């Protein structure tokens, strides 16, 4: 009865993945990494927000470059002469004024706006790196989950064959009844492993859909190969590249430059802006022309408070730059160590561990078939081979994810 239940459960799980028992009967959508990255970079809402922020900053730059508008004052009204004949008529006045902004204040304001545009452009690049790394990591996690699921079903098939073999040996009196019980227990364990693997596939598939930002269809699959191993990188070179080009760090540096330019603009504003004016006044009995210069006198306020505030923001920006560098060094060092460990594990597998485990399982299968070893010994060898292959897949996923993380943290691997 346990065996029947196990086969039914696995059959339901397998039919959920491959309806009607045949994968070829129901074609499912398949995506490679390039397709998913293209969709994500087009659909991800955070990138649209970054693009809008860049557009807004460019608008502020246009505003910073604009010159002050002139003023035109026109006055008309009735009037009469206070001396002489009682003449009455219309009096007019026209006045034109053009503010002249202090050149150093204007140039500092424009520099501040330019650094603001550069900062948002770096933010957008950093957003692209984050989305690319997240989609890449989710892709390889799903790819690894798919391979683990296939491996788990293969393990179940092998255990099911083992259980059938054990029953025949027990019925023939060649083995004790304990072997049948042990084989049935192992079959239950393999059933749970298939269920766990299928659940992990569903979880990683949902995570990838969330990263891509688009419905990819029911029970889609990913296809591709894990990235090749790279062993020629040094942590120092990666840190040097990150300090030169990582967008997040460049954002902090541009922000510091923007605040420094704002401080220069506030300091330059202590020099008042003057205004040139000219005008015409036509009265009942006379007409006059005027031209002059308006100069505000900074007697009571020389913007000491604004200057102190701007200077404090510059000091804060400098501290944020240092903090960003320290955090980047920490994150990059941790990612490099994960990459190094995963790379070393894969080297061990390729040097013969994977093949040795498979050969040991095959030898144990034949030995058990001829009664040379016990069931427990055969199960141990088979379990070791399964676990070794599974760890190899996990190491491949770890290497791929660590490479995606290094790509993000360096701003582009050299």
| Sign of CA pseudo-dihedral 320, 113, 239, 411 | positive
Q: Is the pLDDT of residue 5 over 60?
A: no
CA angle (250, 255, 259) in 5-degree steps: 150
CB 44 within 8 A of CB 131: yes
pLDDT of residue 27: 53
Q: What average pLDDT does the segment 120-131 reach?
A: 91
pLDDT in tens, 215-242: 787 778 899 998 876 667 888 989 998 9
Q: Is the pLDDT of residue 104 over 70?
A: yes
Per domain, the residue ranges of the chain are 2-81+88-410
Name the pLDDT band for 263 (thresholds 50, 70, 90). Answer: very high
Q: Is the pLDDT of residue 113 over 90?
A: yes
pLDDT in tens, 243-256: 998 999 999 999 99
Cα–Cα dist 356/370, whole Å: 21
CA angle (401, 393, 133) in 5-degree steps: 15
pLDDT of residue 81: 72
pLDDT of residue 355: 76
Q: What average pLDDT does the segment 46-53 reach?
A: 87
- Considering the four listed CATH numbers 3.30.1700.10, 1.20.1600.10, 3.40.50.2000, 1.10.10.10, the one that applies to the domain covering 2-81+88-410 is 1.20.1600.10
Q: Please tell me the number of Cα atoms within 13 Å of 294 on its side-chain side.
A: 12
Listed range (234-238, 261-265, 321-325, 367-371) with the worst mean pLDDT: 367-371
Q: Is the pLDDT of residue 18 over 50?
A: no
Q: Is the pLDDT of residue 50 over 50?
A: yes
Cα distances from 275 to residues 270, 272, 297, 300, 383, in angstroms, run 16, 10, 13, 20, 88
Q: What average pLDDT does the segment 108-133 reach?
A: 92
CA 196 to chain centre: 29
pLDDT of residue 9: 36
Name the pLDDT band for 97 (thresholds 50, 70, 90). Answer: very high
Residues paired with residue 30 on neighbouring β-strands, in sequence order: 221
pLDDT in tens, 337-356: 999 888 888 888 777 776 77
Cα–Cα dist 407/129, whole Å: 8
Q: If you average pLDDT over every residue of the chain, what do you get?
A: 82
> Tokens 């009967």 belong to which residue?
25
Listed range (75-84, 230-239, 316-325) with the worst mean pLDDT: 75-84
pLDDT of residue 78: 83
Name the pLDDT band for 325 (thresholds 50, 70, 90). Answer: very high
pLDDT of residue 229: 65
Q: Is the pLDDT of residue 31 over 70?
A: yes
Helix axes 2-17, 103-171, angle to 10 degrees: 150
CB 123 within 8 A of CB 247: yes
Q: What average pLDDT does the segment 374-394 reach?
A: 78
**CB atoms near residue 405 (< 10 Å):** 21
CB 377 within 8 A of CB 135: no
CA 214 to chain centre: 16
pLDDT of residue 333: 94
Cα–Cα dist 144/169, whole Å: 37
pLDDT in tens, 172-218: 776 667 777 777 777 888 888 889 989 999 999 999 888 887 778 77
Quick one: tokens of 270?
């202590």
Cα–Cα dist 353/235, whole Å: 28
Q: What average pLDDT does the segment 18-31 reach?
A: 53
């Amino acid at each position: 009865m346990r065996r029947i239940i196990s086969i039914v459960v696995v059959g339901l799980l397998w039919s959920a993945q491959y309806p009607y028992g045949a994968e070829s009967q129901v074609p499912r959508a398949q995506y490679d990494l390039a397709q998913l990255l293209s969709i994500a970079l087009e659909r991800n809402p955070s990138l649209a927000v970054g693009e809008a922020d860049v557009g807004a900053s460019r608008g502020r730059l246009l505003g910073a470059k604009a010159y002050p508008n002139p003023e035109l004052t026109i006055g008309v009204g009735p009037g009469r002469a206070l001396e002489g004949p009682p003449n009455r008529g219309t009096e007019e006045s026209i006045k034109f004024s053009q503010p002249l902004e202090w050149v150093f204040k204007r140039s500092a304001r424009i520099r501040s706006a330019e650094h603001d545009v550069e900062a948002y452009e770096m933010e957008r690049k950093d957003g692209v790196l984050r989305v690319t790394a997240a989609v890449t990591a989710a892709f390889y996690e799903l790819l690894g989950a798919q391979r683990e699921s296939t491996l788990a079903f293969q393990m179940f098939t092998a255990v099911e064959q083992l259980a059938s073999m054990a029953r025949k040996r027990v019925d023939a009196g060649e083995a004790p009844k304990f072997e049948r019980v042990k084989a049935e227990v192992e079959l239950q364990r393999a059933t749970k492993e298939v269920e766990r693997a299928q659940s992990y596939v569903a979880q990683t598939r949902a995570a990838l859909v969330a990263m891509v930002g688009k419905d990819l269809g029911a029970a889609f699959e990913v296809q591709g190969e894990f990235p090749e191993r790279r062993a020629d990188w040094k942590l120092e070179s990666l840190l040097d590249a990150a300090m030169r080009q990582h967008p997040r760090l460049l954002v902090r540096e541009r922000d510091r430059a923007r605040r420094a330019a704002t401080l220069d603009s506030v300091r330059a504003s202590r020099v008042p802006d003057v205004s040139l004016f000219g005008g015409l006044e036509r009265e009942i009995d006379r007409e006059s022309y005027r031209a002059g210069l308006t100069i505000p006198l900074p007697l009571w306020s020389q913007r000491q408070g604004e200057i102190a505030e701007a200077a404090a923001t510059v000091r804060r920006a400098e501290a944020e730059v240092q903090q960003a560098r320290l955090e980047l060094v920490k994150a990059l060092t941790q990612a490099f160590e994960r990459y190094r460990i995963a790379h070393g594990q894969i080297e061990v597998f390729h040097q013969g561990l994977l093949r040795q485990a498979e050969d040991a399982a095959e030898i144990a299968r034949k030995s058990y078939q001829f009664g040379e070893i016990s069931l427990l010994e055969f199960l141990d060898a088979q379990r070791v081979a399964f676990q070794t292959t599974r760890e190899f897949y996990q190491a491949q996923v770890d290497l791929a994810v660590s490479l995606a993380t290094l790509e993000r943290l360096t701003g582009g691997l050299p």
